[in-house]
Amino acid sequence: MHDYVIETTGLTKRYGDIAAVESLDLRVRRGEVFGFLGANGAGKTTTLRMLLGLIRPTGGHAVVMGEKPGAAASLARIGSMIETPAFYPHLSGRDNLHVLAAYAGIGRDRIDAALEQVDLDKRAGDAFRTYSLGMKQRLGVAAALMKDPALLILDEPTNGLDPAGMAEMRTLIRKLGDEGRTVIVSSHLMVEIEQVCDRAAMISNGTLIAEGTIDELRGEDVLVIEADPLDEACQLVAGLPGVREVRPGAGELRVSGTDGLDPARINARLVREGIEVRELRRERSSLESVFLSLTNGSGTGDADDGGLDSMHPSHEKEVLYAS
Amino acid sequence: MRRETWAMLRAELFQLRKRTSTWVLLGIWAAMGLFFGYVLPYLIETPDGADAGPVAGLLPERMIGEVVSGFPFYGGAIAIMLGVLSVGSEFGWGTFKTLFTQRPGRGAVIGSKLGALAVVLLPFVLVSFAIGGAASSLIALREGYAIDFGSMGDLVLAILAGWMILAVWASVGVLLAVATRGTSLAIGIGIIWALVIEGLLGVFVESVSWLEWVNSVMLRSNAYSLVEPLGGGTEGDGPGAFTGPYVDPGQALLTLGLLMVVSLGISLALMMRRDVA
């Protein structure tokens, strides 16, 4: 039995005939760093806005921190940054946090600590309108952290950050997760999610297309063998113990199987049978390749591709030899 | 007042105080009051140092009426802009989403903004009377008249009436900003309403009988009716002229109060119900 911080059932947001989010069932467990992946316009931000009570769903419902979205009791424990951070341009970074602290009902003593945490303390006295996008982003994170939240909702937090800033942000998010906070990070950068998240959900055209741990989403490793003659190699490998399927490609075989799949033994067997092995390597699927295969390469593919069970459609196509 | 409520109100006052547009509007308001209330009339009434008799209306004893008569006209335009900017700018900056995801919820956020706006209007009222007092005193000294500001009770009533008029116009500004989710269109509509539509209705009211009822619930006619007993009226046929018909001051106060409640009620209802993009 999991302790869910966020639970949505059939969550839907329609604008006329257009479904921004369609029947979304999402569960985020307490204390995990949860990635929310999707192409631009997939429905990530709309979903997060619904979770914060900024927009009302047209169908389904959501429970956030045990409350209705937007309830004062839950907002008090949620730090959030949705899309581009929005602050008063005529106030300094620190003054903006003073205003928010008054609304959040928290002491001013947390402001400096939050600014230091995002490395913005030296520019905190400058007007917000003079900040770079990266600095605005960091101020947004500082505002979220200032509340010492149990749940952090960060929408594209690395937007506008330089590579060093992105790395720092990822480290910070991971650290926040390690502190026991629940963190939801939305992003269209798969690598980012892969690096910092425990679990993730993929959304396309407003519909959930996959959800699971990062390893579950990525799927199993594939052994890639370049051999000659390929046909013979294919027949041989397909009959080896531990091999579940073999897919021949352009001059190579892609072999998947159980944990017992041993590249060294496969290599030895091929060589023993007189088959020339040019290359043998283990290849790990990336979230990006999985996402692209689920969305037919466009990032906005058919939402009916299904859930986790259909995470590896490419593995299921044209299987010529399988044990 | 609860500590949290006070903290939110102070935060709003702080951000309004730090905003350039608040000071620019205050400056324009003060300059208009001085120039159109005293400098221009004084120059017209005393060409080339002629007899100063006609300046009686600019002396301290008529200061209350002179100052308060500016509120229904250009005071309305300034207050509409203040109302629009105090709420409408938040749509452009996107700051509503930031504020609404803090603890207190939408009602408290909007309430704090309206409370701060109500407080900010007070300096606008006080500045206009301070300028009126200073300008009328200078004229009295120059022309050799006594400095007598009349009844303190009337001054307090005039301050309250002035605040009420600005507050109603500002409420209309808030409503326009919320309805249009921005500032530009809201200010445009507001200025057209305050300076053109209300003025034209006043012109045709004597010719078209059913316009009399419409006029009786319009903001400008009620505002002039409220300040008329304090000596605040207009003469001639200038853009701000209002020659009636006046309604009972009590009825005017009630109508203005209702207009404010309706404007703010609709604004609040819209803000509570709408999606925040």
Mean pLDDT for each 10-residue chunk of chain B (277 residues)?
Answer: 86 95 95 90 70 74 89 90 95 94 90 96 96 93 85 92 96 97 95 85 78 83 88 60 76 94 96 91
Residues β-bridged to residue A63: A7
* Three-class secondary structure of residue B154 per DSSP: helix
A307 exposure class (CB count in 10 Å sphere: 0-12, 13-18, 19+): middle
DSSP state of A286: P
Residue type, B256: L
Which pLDDT score, from 0 to 100, does residue A322 have?
A: 36
pLDDT top residue among B83 and A191: B83
Query: Which chain B residues contact residue A88 at CB under 8 A?
Result: 15, 18, 93, 95
* B14 SS3 class: helix
Gap between the Cα atoms of A216 and A170, Å rounded: 21
CB atoms within 10 A of CB A89: 16
Burial of A125 (0-12, 13-18, 19+ CB in 10 A): exposed
Closest CA in chain A for residue B100:
A54
Inspect the interface and report whether the beta carbons of B103 and A103 lie closer than 8 Å: yes
- Whose CA is closest to A81, among A155, A165, A168, A135? A155
Nearest to B100 by CA among A13, A151, A53: A53
Strands (E), chain A: 4-15, 18-29, 33-38, 59-64, 78-81, 151-155, 182-187, 199-204, 207-213, 222-228, 243-248, 253-257, 276-283, 321-322
Q: What's the CA gap between A36 and A50, in Å, rounded?
A: 14
Which of A99, A139, A145 would you mutate first to test chain B, the one with the most B CBs within 10 A? A99
pLDDT at B258: 96
ipTM above 0.85, yes or no: yes
Are B136 and B60 in contact by the 8 Å Cβ rule? The answer is yes
Q: Whole-angstrom Cα distance, residue A196 to residue A169? A: 10
Better pLDDT: B237 or A287 = A287
The least confident of A15-24, A150-159, A301-310, B228-237 is A301-310
CA angle, A206 then A136 then B95, to 5°: 65
* Among A96-100, A168-172, B114-118, B179-183, the least confident range: A168-172
Write out the two tokens for B27. Answer: 């400056």
**Candidates B18, B94, B277; nearest CB to A90:** B18
Of A55, A51, A5, nearest to A24 by C-alpha is A51
pLDDT at residue B232, rounded to an integer = 66
DSSP A162: -
Q: Which residues contact B265 (CB under 8 A, 6 or more apart)?
A: none
Q: In sequence order, which residues have a C-beta less than 8 Å from that of residue B25 and are 6 or more positions away?
A: B78, B81, B82, B85, B124
Q: Cβ contact (<8 Å) for A103 and B104? A: yes
pLDDT value for B58 = 87
Q: Give the span between the Cα atoms of B188 and A111, in whole angstroms.
A: 39
pLDDT, position A21:
94
The alpha helices in B76-197, defined as continuous H runs, are 76-93, 95-100, 106-143, 152-180, 184-191
Long-range contacts of A157-166 (CB under 8 A, 24+ apart): A157/A81, A157/A185, A157/A187, A158/A187, A158/A189, A158/A192, A159/A84, A159/A133, A160/A132, A160/A133, A160/A134, A160/A136, A161/A134, A161/A137, A162/A134, A165/A134, A165/A137, A165/A138, A166/A192
Mutate to test the interface with A, among B86, B98, B270 (most CBs of A within 10 A): B98
Residue of B14, B15, B20, B102 for testing the chain A interface, max A β-carbons within 10 Å: B102
Check whether the bond before B60 is cis (ω within 30° of 0).
no
* Angstrom distance (rounded) from CA B65 to CA B228: 8
Query: Tell me, what's the pLDDT at A313?
Result: 32
Provide the chain A residues 90-119 that lie in CB contact (below 8 A) with chain B.
90-91, 95, 98-100, 102-105
Q: What is the pLDDT of residue B209?
A: 79
> Using only C-alpha atoms, what is the Rg of chain B?
20
Q: Nearest CA of chain A to the CA of B175: how many Å?
A: 20
- Give A-chain residues touching B12 at CB under 8 angstroms: 99
- Show the DSSP H helices in B69-105 as ranges: 76-93, 95-100
Half-sphere exposure of A89 (CA within 13 A, CB side): 12
Q: What is the pLDDT of residue B243?
A: 67
Neighbour-count burial of B204, counting CB atoms closer than 10 A to its CB (0-12 exposed, 13-18 middle, 19+ buried)? exposed
Burial of B237 (0-12, 13-18, 19+ CB in 10 A): exposed
pLDDT score at A44: 93
In the predicted model, is pLDDT for residue A215 greater than 90? Answer: no
Distance CA A285, CA B150 (A): 87
Identify which of B45, B236, B83, B271 has the alpha carbon closest to the alpha carbon of residue B169. B83
Residues of B in contact with A78 (CB under 8 A): 101
Pairing of strands A321-322, A276-283: unpaired
- Chain A residues within 8 A of B15 when measuring between CB atoms: 88, 90-91, 95, 99
In sequence order, which residues have a C-beta less than 8 Å from that of residue B260 and are 6 or more positions away? B167, B168, B171
- pTM of this structure: 0.84
Report the distance separating Cα A91 and Cα B13, nearest Å: 13
Judged by CB atoms closer than 8 Å, whether chains meet at B98 and A100 is answered as: yes
Measured distance CA(A81)–CA(A187) in Å, rounded: 13
Distance (Å, rounded) from C-alpha A93 to C-alpha A127? 6
Q: Measuring CA to CA, how many Å separate A35 from each of A217, A221, B33, B98, B247?
A: 11, 21, 59, 22, 64
User: Residue A39: what pLDDT?
Assistant: 86
As beta bridge partners, residue A35 has A185, A200
Distances (CA, A) of B105 to A98, A179, A315, B102, B262: 18, 28, 49, 7, 22
Burial class of residue A64, CB neighbours in 10 A (0-12, 13-18, 19+): buried
